[in-house]
Structure 1
Amino acid sequence: MTFVDEVKNAVTPRAALLVIGVLGLQLLFIASYVGALHKPKPTDVAFGVVAPQQVSQQLVDRLDELPGGPLDPRTVSSAAEAREQIMNRDIDGALIVSPEGRTDTLLVASGGGAALATSLERILTEVDASQQRSVRTVDVAPASGEDFNGLSSFYLVIGWCVGGYLCASILAISAGTKPANRQRAVIRTGAMALYSIAGGIGGAIIIGPILGALPGSFWGLAGLGALVVFAVGMTTLALEALTGIVGIGLAVLIIVIAGNPSAGGAFPLPMLPDFWRTIGPALPPGAGTWVARSIAYFRGNAVTGPLLVLSAWAVVGTALTLLLSMRHRADADPAGPAGTGTTATGAAPGPGAGGSTAA
């Protein structure tokens, strides 16, 4: 055989397509991460202004007209209300104007992302300096001393996501991407649930009692971890049931390539470009990071929406996995419920079954 013949024999069309797909994922990974994170800048940051009535609207208008639109300012009635809105995660910071002195107070929350708190301090320092005023910064929800730049919650959630799609991928590699029947799909779902509980508790133990990196409720974080792992794992199983081994690549595309840079971890959402800021809250890494920070630093506030997002991924993934397993069995068993068209193991006979329909 010539060298060309050897290549044609060794590299099947299927293998070539998979390699091309991997190359595409690699390039998308670079484009997504660099596109999201290469030039972070605050845009339309929800920001409160507490000032005497006669100057309040003027200050709001001046902040709203800053070059590049870094702030989305709105009037807040009092300093106490501003603090409460920050803790409820309705706004990311607030300026309290002193009616008597020339030193104003800037409220920030580094627990929601140190990069954003630092950017707000820089912006408001420049604004006050232009009016011959100064500003002092008060951190109302400070990140833990063991949580550098508030990144621990992000890495915790990323670890949970990795565990979810790796577990689902191992199930596919070891026993076939498409469950042979509904019972096998139920078994996989149960295995994923048990794995998710173990992963959630394990992550919470590491981040809390062992490392002391995050404060907040241990069981709250453990429950969040179980939900994140299960949501990602069941999404991956559903994609595998739908497309075979390609489903692993699709899971990487959704969770890693699209989800991680848009999660608001390294840079909070208001510092990301519009595309990533838009998709981030709808994907498991972004929803999980938001809830982890809320549990750790914001008294568990503002978690309903993100928890519903994670629950939706889990429910849809589970439903698709079970429904597709039923469709697959019907396709493999044209003889009907008597089961005469299947083998004793529930897999369709014949050379076309391969490894894709194993348990």
Structure 2
Amino acid sequence: MATTTNQTTTDPAGGPAKPEPGRYRRWYSTLHPSLQLIGLQLWLPLFFIVGFCLCYIAAFHAPHPHDVPVALVGSSSAAVDLQTSLDEARPGVIDVRAYGSADEAEQAVLAGHVAVAYDPADTTVYTASAHQYQVAALIPATITPVLEAQGVTPTVTDLAPLPANDEYGTVSMYLMLSWCIGGYMVAMFIGLMGAPLRHRTRVTVIGVGGGVISLVTNVLAGPVIGAVDGHFVPLFFIAWAWIIAIGLAVNGISYFVGRFVALPAMIVFVFLSMPSSGAAYPAWFMPQPFAWLNAVVVGSGITEMLKRVLYGVGPGYGRGVTMMLCYAALGIVLMIVGKRWWENRRIARIVSGRTTMFADAQNANREFLVAERDEVLARHGLVATDTGTINTIPEDERGDLGDAGERGDMFLGAPGGLENDELSTRPVRVVPSDRAGSAHPARGSGAAR
């Protein structure tokens, strides 16, 4: 018989050798089963705090514009002159690009290819706050002092102003976040509790769950809250498609990471996706690697599609649809490969006799709860059978259950109630009625004071 952590114990019946648990695992198994389960899940809040700090605080604590593209209507030489002046005032902040006409520059602003456009012919700075509110507010303020130093006082024209129900352009960000969380959580619970399910069942759950989440979020954001005006049908199908794509990706990942599926799912679809999406700040304001990730995270594709539907701005649907299909295809591939890998690994674990700490804790907790249930039933003169029915213990067989006063009645509990402890009460003074045999004192008799 082995005593070291890397030795195995041979099954007396001639079965496969079973690994001997290590010292830490043996110690951990001595804890209360419920405490074991709690301890094995505490990695999640720790991971959430670390991820929040490294992704959200690191990305948003000091957003700084860098290489922000600005369109200049004019020649290349004029663009070079303006670039030189801007570099002297704010080096590395603005990247001036020449456009041949005002229409081309305005379309570039609406599509999000440039932050703002400046037309020297009418000294106008064109913005699109519906595409990026922060850009529309900060970049004109950055270039205006340089233009004023050249004797020009520009005016600002907003080509796509935000509506009153979305004054700061945050609706698309929170809709995107709700769709991402909904998609990964549906698939996460499938990975946690539905490992043996067939592919068809898993995909059906993702599709139905995605439809419900899409319906709920769009009903709440639109008719209930009033943050979105119209566009219900296109938003419903866009949300549904994205939730399915995210769900398929997380579902595929779950075969490889098991109960730790929340870790990669939250990293990819929440912690990295939100700051890199461009919904809060554009990629031109974000540090690396968030600026680079803008091209690949789902939040970017969702946000651009939302802005196109709601306000008619952004690059269009092509990029978002392409990204959606890529994530869905990746999820399908991982699902097909992962199912076989998970089954092979499960067979190997069964044959080798290996178990996980979480499975051991679950089994121990199940046994503890069954024993606790039997103890509670026995105190009240009841017993659970193997078939699940609850029977009354005959009176002549209750001698082994302890003192009758401690056991209590099966319906009323102990003689003093459900608890044996005496209640702390004070005597109540009772005054007899003036009329003998009267159930209630007469009015005004002063029988009770």
Q: Above 0.5 in TM-score?
A: yes
1:153 maps to which residue?
172
**Which 10-residue stretch deviates more, 161-170 or 206-215?**
206-215
Deviation, structure 1 residue 157 = 0.8
1:9 maps to which residue?
31
1:258 maps to which residue?
272
2:388 maps to which residue?
none
Matched, 1:49 2:72: yes
Deviation, structure 1 residue 47 = 1.3
8 Å contact kept, 1:89–1:302: no
In structure 1, how many angstroms separate the alpha carbons of the residues matched to 2:76 and 2:128?
Answer: 26
Q: CA offsets per residue over residues 78-115 of structure 1, 9 Å max, x none?
A: 2111112222322221011136xxxx111011111211
Deviation, structure 1 residue 274 = 2.7
SS of the equivalent of 1:314 reads helix
Determine which of 131, 143, 163 is the counterpart of 1:144: 163
Determine which of 192, 209, 228 is the counterpart of 1:195: 209
Q: CA offsets per residue over residues 45-101 of structure 1, 9 Å max, x none?
A: 2210014787454224433555242222111112111112222322221011136xx
Determine which of 77, 80, 93 is the counterpart of 2:100: 77
Deviation, structure 1 residue 271 = 1.3
1:67 maps to which residue?
90
Q: CA offsets per residue over residues 116-164 of structure 1, 9 Å max, x none?
A: 1111121122122212221111111112211131110010010111111
The percentage of aligned residue pairs carrying the same residue is 22
Are the structure 2 counterparts of residues 53 and 322 from structure 1 closer, same or farther at C-alpha, using a change threshold of 3 Å?
Answer: closer
Supply the RMSD in Å over aligned alpha carbons.
3.2
2:112 maps to which residue?
89
Counterpart AA for 2:104: E
Superposed, 1:148-227 pairs within 5 Å as: 148-173=167-192, 175-176=193-194, 178=195, 180=196, 184-214=198-228, 217-227=231-241
In structure 1, how many angstroms separate the alpha carbons of the residues matched to 2:78 and 2:268?
Answer: 47
SS of the equivalent of 2:161 reads coil
In structure 1, how many angstroms separate the alpha carbons of the residues matched to 2:246 and 2:286?
Answer: 23
Q: CA offsets per residue over residues 290-309 of structure 1, 9 Å max, x none?
A: 22112222357433123212
**Which 10-residue stretch deviates more, 126-135 or 21-30?**
21-30
Are the structure 2 counterparts of residues 30 and 319 from structure 1 closer, same or farther at C-alpha, using a change threshold of 3 Å?
Answer: same
Counterpart AA for 1:71: I
1:342 maps to which residue?
none
Determine which of 270, 289, 293 is the counterpart of 1:275: 289
Matched, 1:233 2:247: yes
In structure 2, how many angstroms separate the alpha carbons of the residues matched to 1:77 and 1:319?
Answer: 46
SS of the equivalent of 1:91 reads coil
8 Å contact kept, 1:281–1:306: no
Q: Give ranges in structure 1 of 5+ residues lacking alignment.
A: 335-346
Determine which of 125, 130, 134 is the counterpart of 1:115: 134
Counterpart AA for 2:218: A
Are the structure 2 counterparts of residues 190 and 64 from structure 1 closer, same or farther at C-alpha, using a change threshold of 3 Å?
Answer: farther
In structure 1, how many angstroms separate the alpha carbons of the residues matched to 2:83 and 2:162?
Answer: 28
The structure with more radius of gyration: 2
Are the structure 2 counterparts of residues 141 and 8 from structure 1 closer, same or farther at C-alpha, using a change threshold of 3 Å?
Answer: farther
Are the structure 2 counterparts of residues 217 and 135 from structure 1 closer, same or farther at C-alpha, using a change threshold of 3 Å?
Answer: same
Matched, 1:325 2:339: yes
> Please, what TM-score do these two structures have when normalized by structure 2?
0.66
Matched, 1:313 2:327: yes
8 Å contact kept, 2:130–2:313: no
Counterpart AA for 1:123: T
8 Å contact kept, 1:231–1:284: no
Are the structure 2 counterparts of residues 216 and 84 from structure 1 closer, same or farther at C-alpha, using a change threshold of 3 Å?
Answer: farther
Are the structure 2 counterparts of residues 187 and 324 from structure 1 closer, same or farther at C-alpha, using a change threshold of 3 Å?
Answer: same
SS of the equivalent of 1:150 reads coil
In structure 2, how many angstroms separate the alpha carbons of the residues matched to 1:54 and 1:23?
Answer: 55
In structure 1, how many angstroms separate the alpha carbons of the residues matched to 2:63 and 2:46?
Answer: 27
8 Å contact kept, 1:227–1:311: no
In structure 2, how many angstroms separate the alpha carbons of the residues matched to 1:110 and 1:284?
Answer: 22
Matched, 1:244 2:258: yes
Q: Give ranges in structure 2 of 5+ residues lacking alignment.
A: 1-26, 361-449
Counterpart AA for 1:171: I
Q: CA offsets per residue over residues 307-359 of structure 1, 9 Å max, x none?
A: 2122211221133123322343455569xxxxxxxxxxxx99x895959xxxx
Are the structure 2 counterparts of residues 55 and 249 from structure 1 closer, same or farther at C-alpha, using a change threshold of 3 Å?
Answer: closer
Instruction: Between the two structures, name the one with larger relative contact order (CA 8 Å, sep ≥ 6).
Output: 1
Structure with a larger share of its residues in helix: 1
Are the structure 2 counterparts of residues 17 and 199 from structure 1 closer, same or farther at C-alpha, using a change threshold of 3 Å?
Answer: closer
In structure 1, how many angstroms separate the alpha carbons of the residues matched to 2:181 and 2:119?
Answer: 42
> Please, what TM-score do these two structures have when normalized by structure 1?
0.80
1:285 maps to which residue?
299
Deviation, structure 1 residue 215 = 5.1
In structure 1, how many angstroms separate the alpha carbons of the residues matched to 2:164 and 2:60?
Answer: 25
In structure 1, how many angstroms separate the alpha carbons of the residues matched to 2:50 and 2:342?
Answer: 33
SS of the equivalent of 2:58 reads helix
Are the structure 2 counterparts of residues 30 and 59 from structure 1 closer, same or farther at C-alpha, using a change threshold of 3 Å?
Answer: same
